[in-house]
Structure 1
């Protein structure tokens, strides 16, 4: 899927060089994973909210290459974040278990005209995929005694967000934004999980124009 997204963007850039300006961007921030609903594979019991699987905050970062035309932007983006586990089925975790998420998305943006040369609010949405890697150790306080493992699963993912671009120089924009990221369910030998992340990001965009 990653190759497909990049191929689609490159094809678009070569097809309309006179109509759109290319750009690159990078960002970093704070990623807050929501509590995961968890279905235990051994008992079939569904644990929800704080009784499922909870996480510590992580640091998401990523980059993108895209095209801007008038008020619209389209880009192919890669992102990564890792969140340590806080609890599992209500039991505290201190062993360093974690969930890492590598995303590859096609994003679309609409820059809202507020009649300002320096500030540009925007809304955005994206579709793509996520490779979720769950790292579990045997030292977790788990009454059922699930095994240690490290498993990666590729799933569909989408995101929506909003933010503001602040013009720092002729070709340089500072981006402050929020993203809600929602991958599909994933599973390992410890259970089946729903996951989502609220990401608060600060970034820089460089326009080639």
Structure 2
């Protein structure tokens, strides 16, 4: 009986030691990985970025001016003052933090039609004369822009901004078709025809803008936006009469502006993930527990 009791006591001690060892193993399980840092979902870290934009603008001309028309007491009427212009641009910028960024952009605005009519008194023909001007307007625009991002919700970041710079506006292919009523009202009617070489004018440009960015990932953001752009003035070259050895003052387009609708993208280079795979995080191994 004594030996049976001894065997039972030894078995109980062995079972207790095994349970204690298993409990020790459970107490030292590997810790879970640390949670991701808190922050706005989709927010891109600051850094250098490239941008590209395309869009269409509804351009308007405030008024037309031509010195000969003014000199002889004429006036402009009718014609085209608003036309669509397609544009594309590139830029480089820097995002300083989650709410402010700035960039410099350059864009080309494609040809848009311009045109207007005038009526003047022609002192040489002693009668009225009407003219119809038609041409094309193109622009090169450089802007220094600043933006305020208004916070990110579900990867969408609304923004507002403004820009200032300069625009080079060029009038090309200008023609001047007219009719002269000599010795009005009983005199003959004769056509006139003129053309102008290309002319350009560079001046101040400025913009106001608003839109929303969609952050596809930590590096790529798509933008959809509206922009009001003031382009300044444009002018043609001097107008040459096709039937006589005469030249006239250039046609001027004043107070050009545009309501632009843009689609763009930004590629951010400031995030470390863009330059390589981040170093893996090392975790301390669990302590070794000797089992008895």
Per-residue deviation, residues 29-87 of structure 1 (Å, max 9, x unmatched): 11110133112221115647xx3652431211101100001211111100111232253
Highest Rg: 1 or 2?
Answer: 2
Say whether 1:24 aligns with 2:24: no
User: Pick from 48, 52, 63: which aligns with 1:37?
Assistant: 63
Q: 1:61 to 1:46 in 2, by over 3 A?
A: farther
Structure 2 counterpart of 1:73: 101
**1:162 positional shift:** 0.4
Would the alpha carbon gap of residues 38 and 186 (structure 1) be closer, same or farther in structure 2, given more than 3 Å must change? same
Distance 1:69 1:195 in 2: 33
| 1:123 aligned to which of 152, 156, 160 | 160
CA distance change for structure 1 residues 146 and 197 in 2, over 3 Å: closer, same or farther? farther
Q: What is the rounded CA distance, in whole Å, between the counterparts of 2:62 and 2:178 in structure 1?
A: 17
User: C-alpha distance in 2, partners of 1:36/1:151?
Assistant: 19
- 1:7 — aligned with what? none
Partner of 2:145: 107
SS at match of 1:42: helix
1:193 deviates by 2.1
* Matches of 1:177 and 1:141, distance apart in 2: 40
Are the equivalent residues in 1 in contact too, given 2:212–2:225 (CA < 8 A)? yes
Is residue 2:95 matched to residue 1:64? no
Q: Which runs of 5+ in 1 are unaligned?
A: 1-18
Quick check: 1:82 aligned with 2:120? no
Match of 1:106, SS state, is strand
197-206 or 76-85, larger mean C-alpha shift? 76-85
CA distance in 2, matches of 1:86, 1:137: 9
Q: 2-side partners of 1:33 and 1:80: how far apart?
A: 14
> In 1, Cα distance between the equivalents of 2:222 and 2:75?
43
Partner of 2:260: 199
CA contact (8 A) 2:200 2:234 kept: no
Indicate conservation of the 8 Å contact 1:37/1:46, yes or no: no
Which residue does 2:30 correspond to in 1?
none
Unpaired runs of at least 5, structure 2: 1-44, 119-130, 180-191, 237-249, 272-292
Q: Report the TM-score, using the length of structure 1 for normalisation.
A: 0.78
Partner of 1:172: 220
Please report how far the alpha carbon of residue 92 of structure 1 lies from its aligned counterpart in structure 2 after TM superposition: 7.2
Normalised TM-score (structure 2): 0.57
* Equivalent residue number for residue 13 of structure 1: none
Alignment of 1:140-179 (within 5 A): 140-142=176-178, 145-179=193-227
Moved more, 150-159 or 38-47: 38-47
| Aligned equivalent of 1:6 | none
Which residue number corresponds to residue 7 of structure 2?
A: none
Contact 2:93 2:104 in 1 (8 A): yes
